[in-house]
Structure 1
Amino acid sequence: MFTIDERYRGLPASRDQVLALHLSLNAPHVAIPGKQAGPAQAFVVGLRGGQGAGVFVYLYLVEAGDCAVYVSGRRVQSSDELREDEDDALGFVESLGFMMDNANWRAVAPAQQDEWLKTLPVFFKEPTLVPAVKARAEEKRNVATTLGRFLAAF
């Protein structure tokens, strides 16, 4: 059973810590308690830590530039437990309407892994640091400034 954990805002990790990565192929409209409803991307990530491993579900709310992180609540100690938690996480996100794809993290070239670590929202410390969110915020500021200057000219 996965429950939301408000303490997490992102899952920054090194290449060696990532055990598994699943990405959503679609962006269904989701409503998460306490968050603005809208289209979201889902990520299921298996991460190795100091006291075992864990599986996390990261929902990135695209329009809001926000996220919700769900945790299984247990540290897995074996590859069988990891696979079991992964399956539970995939079932959870699929029940929300997501279609998931296994990124085959271990089979992907290190250069591609590094690219994902730098670009996927799940690996940022804070969702507002995601380049697309920062660009959108800058664009909104530029539009507002341009409109303000235009209206001030009259």
Structure 2
Amino acid sequence: MFVLHKEIQRLEVPAERVLLLQRSLTNIQVAIPGTTSQETTAYLCVFAAGKGYRIVAVLHQLSSRRLLFYLNNEGEVQQREANRILKEGIHFVESMGFILSDLDFQRLSPRERTAVWQSLPLKTGIVAAAPAAEPAAAKGVQASPPVSPPPPPSAPPTGETLAQKEQIPPAAEQRARQKAFLENIGRFLSSL
């Protein structure tokens, strides 16, 4: 079972500890109790923590710029249990209407993994209008035991980062592409 942890604002996990990363193919309209219905992106992440693994489902609400972290309530688990909980996590996210796609994170080079991980809201967190009474340090999930951060990757020969090379199209363009894709899939399925 996955439980919402409102106190978590980001995943303080180094890229080398992330073992699996999935992201929803499209953004969908989701209404979470206590929030307004809005376009949301879903992530599912498995990372090494201490002597086991943790699984977390994250919902990124686009309009309110909020991240909602749902952790498996079993805590750290061994590989056999992690596989079962991963299936539960996939079911949890897909029950909201998302379709997940594996980002093949584990197949990237260490430098690419770090660049991709640093570009995601999961790692960096999202700062919406922060209340003045908020503690100085944002709370986050940490892989235990704490690991010193890896040395910064050397700059690629061209001076461009992976995120700069792969310019992410604006949200409106992404929605237009998604709509065209869904229409084409619909035409294909109706022709069968």
Which AA in structure 1 matches 2:3?
T
Residue in 1 that maps onto 2:54? 54
Give the structure 1 partner of residue 185 of structure 2.
none
Displacement of 1:53: 1.7
- Post-superposition Cα deviations, 1:10-35, rounded to whole Å, max 9, x if no partner, equal 21321222121111111010011112
Separation of aligned partners in 2, 1:128 and 1:119: 17
CA distance in 1 between counterparts of 2:51 and 2:58 reads 21
Cα shift at 1:42? 0.5
Please name the residue that 1:143 is paired with. none
Instruction: Describe the SS at the equivalent of 1:47.
Output: strand
What corresponds to 1:65 in structure 2? Answer: 65
Query: Taking structure 2 as the reference length, what is the TM-score of the superposition?
Result: 0.62
Unmatched tracts of structure 2, length 5 or more: 130-169, 171-192
Equivalent positions of 1:5-154 (< 5 A) are 5-128=5-128
Identity score, percent: 22
Partner-residue secondary structure (3-state), 1:77:
coil
Normalized per residue, which structure has more helix?
1
Q: How does the TM-score come out when normalised to structure 1?
A: 0.76
Q: What SS does structure 2 have at the residue aligned with 1:11?
A: strand
Tell me, which stretches of 5 or more residues in structure 1 are unaligned?
A: 133-154
The CA deviation string for residues 88-129 of structure 1, in whole angstroms up to 9 with x for no partner, is 111111110111011222212222211221111111244549
Distance 1:127 1:60, change over 3 A: farther
Residue 51 of structure 1, CA deviation: 4.9
